[in-house]
Amino acid sequence: MDPVLIGELLSGLMFFGIIGFLLLGFPVAFTLAGVSLMFGLVGMWFGVFDPSNFGSLANRYIGYMTNEVLVAVPLFIFMGVMLERSKIAEQLLLTMGKLFGNLRGGLGISVIIVGALLAASTGVVGATVVTMGLISLPAMLRANYDPRLATGVICASGTLGQIIPPSTVLIFMGDMLSGINAQVQMAKGNFAPVPVSVGDLFAGALLPGVLLVGLYLGWTLLKAIFDPASCPATPVPAEEKKELLGEVAVALLPPLLLIMAVLGSILGGIATPTEAASVGAVGAMVLAALRWRLSFAVLRETAIATASITCMVFIILFGASVFSIVFRLMGGDNLVHEFLANLPGGTLAAVAVVMFIMFLLGFILDTFEIIFIVIPITAPILLALDVDPVWLGVLVGVNLQTSFLTPPFGFALFYLRGVAPDSVKTSMIYKGVFPFVLLQLLAIAIMFMFPEIATWLPRAIYS
């Protein structure tokens, strides 16, 4: 049999083998590395894989550990965890609930706005969903909100941290797309390509993030108009209204100032993402100190949580590196290239197929698992087909946000299920997120029709 055909066949079997082992419950990082090593041995047996290729792994790992851009990841995680400990989310939710309480759907609107603010200042999905679930869900249920609407709004708003900067997913994708784009352009003979940076993705994700917030708000307002019983108003007593403006200022100003300091410095070209992340981490500690919540115990808890989350992400990245080497060097990239390049419909069809595959993988895999597996395989082919790297990165970010909402393995559903009262059944949570999954898909469709939503702002800022 043709060695090329054997290599491509083994690459395809390896991909589906990894999915199968993950469905059996094996740890992701070890599955990626272990299954890839096994198929690498099989490839050696058939003479389609050279084991000396594993020698490049050490350089890859050292490259990850010395990459200054990726240093921003633990710093942003630290910032998010510290802000969660400082109870900023709690104060924001309570204050916004009062501000919009007189409107039908007001509590839902307040949750969406707070979710967007927390996304721009923390970016930690788990902490945001749990916090809003503990504080807002009981209040919404007491106000006779439909449990499906309440849980859907909380889960969807909590996942905005995956697309609204500073997003750790965008940091990894920015770093990956930067290297891939440089290699693709050099292969095409362009030895001075326009670089792609994390700042480009941050700028590109702002308007799509606003679009998602607008769609969530629009759905909540439609429910308030056509199904008012599902989201009744919660009037605020007159005596509490007198102090409301002061409460709003106290609750809003600290996170807004932090957002301006972090994102403003990145988009304005004043600081790199890593430098801005360090400012954000220090700023989060300052806010915690101003609230008298900064202590050695809080610092210790925050450091442990940051180390745990960072280790989880990077160990998956290390395992995905083994998969990438075996898959590509056995000919898997040629198989994917032939499949995508020969699709009827051209480049847009190729992008649509990749988005569809990522959407399906979101039902069974986590966001980081998907980008570490799929981006190295598909991005070189798509960028070679002249797809804009910023548009592709933001489109993937919006798509992967959906993975937090799709059962059975949507993590936002698990987070909320863990803090929701027994009266809220799991089936209610699944039904509640369904309209928001459709809104996510609508946002992707809009970005397909109008790519400028993702590409206009980076060009306006950096050109």
DSSP labels, 205-216 = HHHHHHHHHHHH
**What single DSSP character describes residue 100?**
S
Beta strand spans in 249-295 (E): none
**What single DSSP character describes residue 237?**
P
> What gap in Å lies between CA 454 and CA 203, rounded to an integer?
8
Per-residue pLDDT band for 240 (boundaries 50, 70, 90) equals: low
DSSP labels, 103-115 = STTHHHHHHHHHH
Our measurement of the distance from residue 223's CA atom to the centroid of its chain's CA atoms, rounded to an integer in Å, reads 27
Q: What is the pLDDT of residue 252?
A: 80
Lowest mean pLDDT among 197-201, 260-264, 297-301, 390-394: 260-264
User: In whole angstroms, how far apart are CA 119 and each of 67, 239, 332?
Assistant: 25, 32, 36
Report the range out of 21-35, 126-140, 172-186, 334-348 with the highest average pLDDT: 172-186
Verdict on whether the full-model pTM lies above 0.85: yes
**What single DSSP character describes residue 129?**
H
> What gap in Å lies between CA 17 and CA 32, rounded to an integer?
10
Per-residue pLDDT band for 463 (boundaries 50, 70, 90) equals: low
CB-CB contact of 332 with 12 (8 Å): yes
CB-CB contact of 370 with 91 (8 Å): no
CB-CB contact of 158 with 129 (8 Å): yes
User: In whole angstroms, how far apart are CA 96 and each of 19, 62, 93, 237, 244?
Assistant: 42, 46, 5, 15, 9
357: how many CB neighbours lie within 10 A of its CB?
A: 14
DSSP H stretches of helix in 188-243: 198-226, 238-241
Report the range out of 23-27, 165-169, 319-323, 385-389 with the highest average pLDDT: 385-389
Residue, of 209 and 22, whose pLDDT is higher: 209
Residue, of 88 and 461, whose pLDDT is higher: 461
Lowest mean pLDDT among 37-51, 162-176, 357-371, 377-391: 357-371
